Copies of this chain bind each other. A is one copy, B any other.
């Protein structure tokens, strides 16, 4: 119990700093995440953060591992295909909740424990299903590349629901000068179709994912060779 008028504020910890960092990036984007703004939201002087994180890079490391911790690891008992499918969907979902993380997930110099765990589980699931070394790396690489790239497109494109996307496409179509329409007829054709029927990210993502998994399935003869 403190006697003074100001409420006793709970002490800072690395976890609280990282949590607040994730919340700030979620709401304001990566550009809105500054040490100074973060400190203000936590009710402390900027300098105080540096006792709990070494610097901004260290903060980002922690934030990225929070995202990895939200990803559902592959469950080998479902069989490799369904396990890969669900974990890819779960990764995309995490990236939709935290779009700022898309460019940061890979390539951390100091991968966190959740990151290591996820990749180990991925390798373990595929190796356990009989995939060879190289094939395991190929499959992981292709699936993750697809999810990252899709998340990048999704994050970056302006519309959410199919309806919104249809309206956006329709507006764009109206605003297109006829001279441009002539130069890019196929683009216009597709834009018109999207304006009519909307663009469903969910279906788009799953179609590509299943297409890749089909491709992986066809690697079977090479399993042992991997």
- Stretch from A6-14, A18-26, A44-52, A142-150 that touches the partner: A142-150
The interface residues of chain B lying within 8 Å CB-to-CB of A156 are 103, 106-107
**Interface 0/1 of A122-146, CB less than 8 Å to B:** 0110010000011011100110111
B211 touches A142 (CB 8 A): yes
B150 touches A141 (CB 8 A): yes
Q: Is A41 part of the binding interface, using a Cβ–Cβ cutoff of 8 Å?
A: no
The interface residues of chain B lying within 8 Å CB-to-CB of A155 are 107
Q: Within the assembled complex, what's the spacing in Å between the Cα atoms of A145 and B95?
A: 14
By secondary structure, the A interface counts as: helix
B186 touches A127 (CB 8 A): yes
| Total interface residues in chain A, CB < 8 Å | 54
B157 touches A107 (CB 8 A): yes
**Interface 0/1 of A108-131, CB less than 8 Å to B:** 010000001101110110010000
A190 touches B123 (CB 8 A): yes
Q: Within the assembled complex, what's the spacing in Å between the Cα atoms of A214 and B217?
A: 11
Task: Enumerate A79-111 residues with CB–CB distance to B below 8 Å.
Answer: 102-103, 106-107, 109
Residue of B whose beta carbon sits closest to that of A141? B204
Residue of B whose beta carbon sits closest to that of A122? B186
The interface residues of chain B lying within 8 Å CB-to-CB of A106 are 152-153, 156-157
B145 touches A149 (CB 8 A): yes
The interface residues of chain B lying within 8 Å CB-to-CB of A75 are none
B127 touches A189 (CB 8 A): yes
**Interface 0/1 of A185-226, CB less than 8 Å to B:** 111011001100001000010011001101110110000000
Q: Is A180 part of the binding interface, using a Cβ–Cβ cutoff of 8 Å?
A: yes
B208 touches A142 (CB 8 A): yes
Choose among B107, B153, B199 the residue that contacts A145 (Cβ–Cβ < 8 A).
B153
Q: Which residues of A contact B (CB under 8 A)?
A: 102-103, 106-107, 109, 116-117, 119-121, 123-124, 127, 133-134, 136-138, 141-142, 144-150, 152-153, 155-158, 180, 183-187, 189-190, 193-194, 199, 204, 207-208, 211-212, 214-216, 218-219
